[in-house]
Structure 1
Amino acid sequence: MSVVLKNKLFKIVSAACVLSFCGSAVAETTLRFHSGLAQSRPEAAHIDEFARLVAEKSNGELKVEVFHGGGLGLREADILRTLQRGMVDMALMYGEYYTRDAPALSTVYAQGAITESEQHLEILPVITELYNEGYKKWGITTIGGVVAPVFDVGLHCKEPINSLDGLKGKKVRVWSRHLVDTFEELGIAAQVIPQNDMYMALQTGVVDCAYYLSTVAKTVSLQEVTRYEAYLHPWAASPWQFGISDRSLARLNDTQRAALESAAQEVWEITRDLAVDPEREQAARAERETLGITVLEPFSDDDVQTFVTAAWKVWQGMAESAGEDGVHYYQTVTSHLQN
């Protein structure tokens, strides 16, 4: 065979390889995913499952590489800017973290918003859409995520207290400014103390009670520094959403995008179905009793309504301070809750 003929055959074969990808798959695309949660958290397992599903549904064409516990060195307060600039592809979004850049997002949902766990599932589509609106302004698209469990919230005290009157004259640990203002509205002293410092604050008498998620109280050993617990209301748990930079999303082909969205929605539906679980709450309560906690009668209906009224008043003030978006979010959510 002549050299000229060999060259012609080589060019024909090469062209055929280009058209048919020469038997190889489309180049794999990897998305870097930031999560500020420790890998030991239950939510982390759901994020890992999301990554597995993406690879499966895309036949290996798309990969999500998850960095748990802030492994990329990113600060939660900066995530909106980070995604907007495309410095990371994806992140676990939590609206209450972004008070500096988008204060209105922290007013979408607040403690005291619901008094029955089932209300959370009813309002979930509404608050999710509001978060989606807010993130879109930053060039971020949200695609499913992890629906946080609706845990019981109670007062964990050194003395037997199960009324708002009983809390007066006591010092209460809370986790947000909204809660500080809510308790102060009720004439009760409260202060924000980080979870990692809560045990010591109770042990040393800095506070007398902790407003905390009762279902997971044993994980922070509250039974060692408090002896009594009384249920107040269900946790208004903002969802953890999967956000992707629009810049990164634009790089994906139709197959990759479909796999990403399908995987995210599957995780969302699984965790939504697990969110409200009375048997889980009852089992956790029974376990706390075996640890030496005396579970008192819940706060009365009148006390719960008094707390909710104060919480909504403070919530409205926060929303108004956040501007037009905050008022829109507050009015949208509360109007649905009142229907």
Structure 2
Amino acid sequence: MTFRSIAALVAGALTLLAYAPAGSAQTVLKLGEIYAATHSNGMAVQRFAELVAKKTNDAVKVEVFLDSTLGSEREIAESLVAGTIDLAPSGLSGIGRFFPDAQVLELPYLYRDLRHMERVAKAVAPDVDALFRAKGVKNIGYLFLGPRSLASRKDIHKLEDMKGLRLRVPESPLYVGLARALGAVPTPVAFPEVYSALETGVANAAEGEPATLWTTKWYEPTKSVSLTKHIWHYRFFAMNGKRFDSLPADQQKALLDAAAETMEYQAGLQEEYNRKALEDIKAAGVKIVETQGLDAFADALVDFNTGFARKLGPGAEALLAKVRSVQ
């Protein structure tokens, strides 16, 4: 082969590369998560990344950053809205800050169980996505947490035991109000700093589902877990809206399908993880308290729930009414 023919082949190859469609390059999406790899939510986002790769034939890669590597829940949510992070499962102390009406979905003693939550998620999905879209965010699905209970230096046998408890809460008005309504002293602390706050006595209790209490080891400085079961709640599977819209339709569908499958996968983990977590916590020498009179807890929060929604406005009240209509 002559030098001239080799040069022609190289030139032809370069021409083909120059006109290759831009979409042929792999799209990389950054996902931030506050939970550890062993938590059900951490497991879920890793499964999501695998599903997206499979459904797009590796055209889309989701890079997963676990265990608050990219910051607190609030910081991750702010980065998602700004567009420096593409995806983030996030609750009220994170993405919920941008969507006040959605806070009513996390009110205490609102859901009977996980199955009820799943039915509500389907019912309110259009309402939630409309709220998010109005501020440049796409909600592609849900993850689940709950029921939240207390890791506490003090056993909580009944409602009266909550009085004066320095309760760590997420940086959210809902949780601050919840603590006050139960007679506790709300102590907002960012998620990565909770263990040290319990260890040093800044807070003497923290709340979360059993799997969270186990993976964070919050039970270690408290030596007691009281099953108040006060909140089931969603984590919105949020995505930067511009980033979602920039993807071709087939990749958008792949993300939505992967999120739906991830939701089912994580819901399947939830109850088993909580059961196992309580067994492991007990085996670690921690006292498990079956809190009595949970109806009294719920009754103490009726006025709080109603007032919270009313303060947010008609949109929040309508959303809460829709939740309550789901059997």
TM interval, shorter chain, is 0.7 to 0.9
Cα offset, 1:65, TM superposition: 4.3
Report the equivalent of 1:262: 257
Report the equivalent of 1:3: none
Secondary structure of 2:222's match? coil
Q: Is the 8 A contact 2:150 2:226 kept in 1?
A: yes
How many residues align? The count is 309
Q: Which amino acid aligns with 1:178?
A: L
Cα offset, 1:163, TM superposition: 0.7
Report the equivalent of 1:109: 106
Secondary structure of 1:298's match? coil
Q: Give 1:316's match in structure 2, choosing from 292, 306, 322.
A: 306
Taking a change above 3 Å as real, the CA distance of residues 290 and 71 of structure 1, as seen in their structure-2 partners, is closer
Report the equivalent of 2:52: 54
Cα distance in 2 for residues equivalent to 1:211 and 1:162 = 15
Cα distance in 2 for residues equivalent to 1:34 and 1:271 = 17
Cα offset, 1:102, TM superposition: 2.8
- 2:274 aligned with 1:281: yes
Greater shift after overlay, 198-207 or 71-80? 71-80
- 2:289 aligned with 1:296: yes
Greater shift after overlay, 32-41 or 100-109? 32-41
Q: Is the 8 A contact 2:156 2:291 kept in 1?
A: no
Taking a change above 3 Å as real, the CA distance of residues 305 and 115 of structure 1, as seen in their structure-2 partners, is farther
Give CA deviations for 1:67-106 in whole Å, capped at 9, x if unaligned. 5556599933535642xxxx45832242512455432232
Report the equivalent of 1:7: none
Report the equivalent of 2:5: none
Report the equivalent of 1:305: 295
Cα offset, 1:51, TM superposition: 3.0
Greater shift after overlay, 155-164 or 32-41? 32-41
Alignment of 1:1-339 (within 5 A): 27-37=24-34, 40=37, 42=39, 43-66=41-64, 69=68, 71=70, 75-79=75-79, 81-82=81-82, 87-88=83-84, 90-96=86-92, 97-98=94-95, 101-144=98-141, 147-150=143-146, 152-175=147-170, 176-233=172-229, 235-245=231-241, 247-275=242-270, 277=271, 279-300=272-293, 304-336=294-326, 339=327
Cα distance in 1 for residues equivalent to 2:251 and 2:208 = 41
* Identity in percent: 20
Q: Is the 8 A contact 2:145 2:234 kept in 1?
A: no
Give 5+ residue unaligned stretches, structure 1: 1-9
Taking a change above 3 Å as real, the CA distance of residues 335 and 312 of structure 1, as seen in their structure-2 partners, is farther
Cα distance in 1 for residues equivalent to 2:244 and 2:216 = 39
Cα offset, 1:135, TM superposition: 0.9
Give 5+ residue unaligned stretches, structure 2: 1-7
Q: Which amino acid aligns with 1:54?
A: V
Could you state the TM-score of these two structures normalised by the residue count of structure 2? 0.76
Q: Which amino acid aligns with 2:288?
A: V
Mark the structure with the bigger radius of gyration: 1
